[in-house]
Chains A and B, each alone.
Chain A
Amino acid sequence: MNAVIEVQHLKKIFQKETALQDVSFKIQKGEIFGFLGPSGSGKTTTIKILTAQTDKTDGDVLLFGRPAKEMKKSQNRKRFGILTDNSGLYTRLSIEENLLLYSDLYQLSKTAVKEALDFVNLYTERKKKVSQLSKGMIQRVTLARAIMHKPDLLFLDEPTSALDPVNTQHIYNGLRKLNEMGTTIFLTTHDMSEAEILCDRVAFLHKGKIRAMGSPKELKKKFGDESITVELKNGEIAVIQNGSEDASKLYEWMQSNEVSRIYTNEPTLGDIFMQITGSDLV
Chain B
Amino acid sequence: MNISMTRIQAIFMKDYKEFSRNYAVSLMIFVPFVLAFFYNKTGISSISEYFLPINIGFSMVTAYVQCCLIAEEKEKNTLRNLMLSPASLGDILIGKSLFVFIMTMIVVGITIFLVGYNPANIFIIAIALMLSSVFYIALGTLCGLFAKSIMEGSIIILPVILIFPLGSYASPLSTVYPALKFMEWLPSSQLVLLAEALEGSYSATDVIIPIVTIIVWSIFAWIITAFIYKKRMVD
Instruction: Tell me the A residues contacting B by CB distance below 8 Å.
Output: 48, 51-55, 72, 74-75, 77-78, 82, 86-93, 97, 100-102, 104-107, 145
- How far is it, in angstroms, between the C-alpha of A102 and the C-alpha of B11 when the chains are bound? 9
A-chain residues with CB within 8 Å of residue B234 when the two chains form the complex: 52-55
A-chain residues with CB within 8 Å of residue B88 when the two chains form the complex: 74
- How far is it, in angstroms, between the C-alpha of A162 and the C-alpha of B4 when the chains are bound? 36
- How far is it, in angstroms, between the C-alpha of A106 and the C-alpha of B17 when the chains are bound? 20
A-chain residues with CB within 8 Å of residue B78 when the two chains form the complex: 88-90
Interface pair B14/A54, CB less than 8 Å apart: no
- Choose among B17, B84, B233 the residue with the greatest number of A CB atoms under 10 Å from its CB: B84
5 A-B pairs with least C-beta separation:
A104-B10, A88-B81, A86-B77, A92-B21, A88-B77
Instruction: Select which of A53, A93, A101 is within 8 A of B84 by beta carbon.
Output: A53
Instruction: Select which of A74, A82, A86, A97 is within 8 A of B17 by beta carbon.
Output: A97
A-chain residues with CB within 8 Å of residue B10 when the two chains form the complex: 100-101, 104-105
Cβ of B203 < 8 Å from any Cβ of A?
A: no
- How far is it, in angstroms, between the C-alpha of A72 and the C-alpha of B197 when the chains are bound? 48
Instruction: Select which of A52, A55, A90, A105 is within 8 A of B85 by beta carbon.
Output: A105
Interface pair B76/A91, CB less than 8 Å apart: yes
Interface pair B80/A104, CB less than 8 Å apart: no
Interface pair A51/B84, CB less than 8 Å apart: yes
Interface pair B2/A93, CB less than 8 Å apart: no
**With contact pairs A53-B234, A55-B234 given, residues A104 and B9 touching in the complex (Cβ less than 8 Å):** yes
- How far is it, in angstroms, between the C-alpha of A97 and the C-alpha of B7 when the chains are bound? 14
- How far is it, in angstroms, between the C-alpha of A51 and the C-alpha of B83 when the chains are bound? 11
- How far is it, in angstroms, between the C-alpha of A97 and the C-alpha of B15 when the chains are bound? 12
**With contact pairs A86-B77, A88-B77, A104-B9 given, residues A75 and B86 touching in the complex (Cβ less than 8 Å):** yes
Q: Name the distance in Å between B235's Cβ and chain A's nearest Cβ.
A: 5
- How far is it, in angstroms, between the C-alpha of A101 and the C-alpha of B133 when the chains are bound? 26
Q: Name the distance in Å between A263's Cβ and chain B's nearest Cβ.
A: 45
Instruction: Select which of B21, B22, B77, B85 is within 8 A of A102 by beta carbon.
Output: B85
* Band of interface residues on B: 20 to 34
- How far is it, in angstroms, between the C-alpha of A92 and the C-alpha of B23 when the chains are bound? 11
Cβ of B18 < 8 Å from any Cβ of A?
A: yes
- How far is it, in angstroms, between the C-alpha of A4 and the C-alpha of B17 when the chains are bound? 38
Give B209-232 as 1s and 0s: 1 = Cβ < 8 Å from A's Cβ atoms: 000000000000000000000000
Interface pair B21/A77, CB less than 8 Å apart: no
B-chain residues with CB within 8 Å of residue A54 when the two chains form the complex: 234-235
Interface pair A77/B4, CB less than 8 Å apart: no
- How far is it, in angstroms, between the C-alpha of A102 and the C-alpha of B2 when the chains are bound? 17
Instruction: Select which of A51, A55, A105, A145 is within 8 A of B87 by beta carbon.
Output: A105
A-B contact pairs, 9 of them (CB 8 A): A77-B84, A82-B84, A88-B78, A97-B14, A100-B10, A105-B10, A105-B11, A105-B91, A107-B4
- Choose among A82, A86, A92 the residue with the greatest number of B CB atoms under 10 Å from its CB: A92
- How far is it, in angstroms, between the C-alpha of A48 and the C-alpha of B84 when the chains are bound? 11
Cβ of B174 < 8 Å from any Cβ of A?
A: no
A-chain residues with CB within 8 Å of residue B13 when the two chains form the complex: 101
A-chain residues with CB within 8 Å of residue B85 when the two chains form the complex: 77, 102, 105-106
Give B192-216 as 1s and 0s: 1 = Cβ < 8 Å from A's Cβ atoms: 0000000000000000000000000
Interface pair B77/A93, CB less than 8 Å apart: no
- How far is it, in angstroms, between the C-alpha of A178 and the C-alpha of B32 when the chains are bound? 53
Q: Name the distance in Å between A102's Cβ and chain B's nearest Cβ.
A: 6
- How far is it, in angstroms, between the C-alpha of A77 and the C-alpha of B89 when the chains are bound? 13
CB nearest neighbor in B for A55: B234
Instruction: Select which of B6, B21, B80, B87 is within 8 A of A74 by beta carbon.
Output: B87
**With contact pairs A53-B234, A54-B234, A77-B85 given, residues A87 and B77 touching in the complex (Cβ less than 8 Å):** yes
Instruction: Select which of A72, A92, A101, A107 is within 8 A of B22 by beta carbon.
Output: A92
Instruction: Select which of B2, B11, B18, B87 is within 8 A of A92 by beta carbon.
Output: B18
CB nearest neighbor in A for B95: A105
Interface pair B21/A78, CB less than 8 Å apart: no
Interface pair A105/B22, CB less than 8 Å apart: no
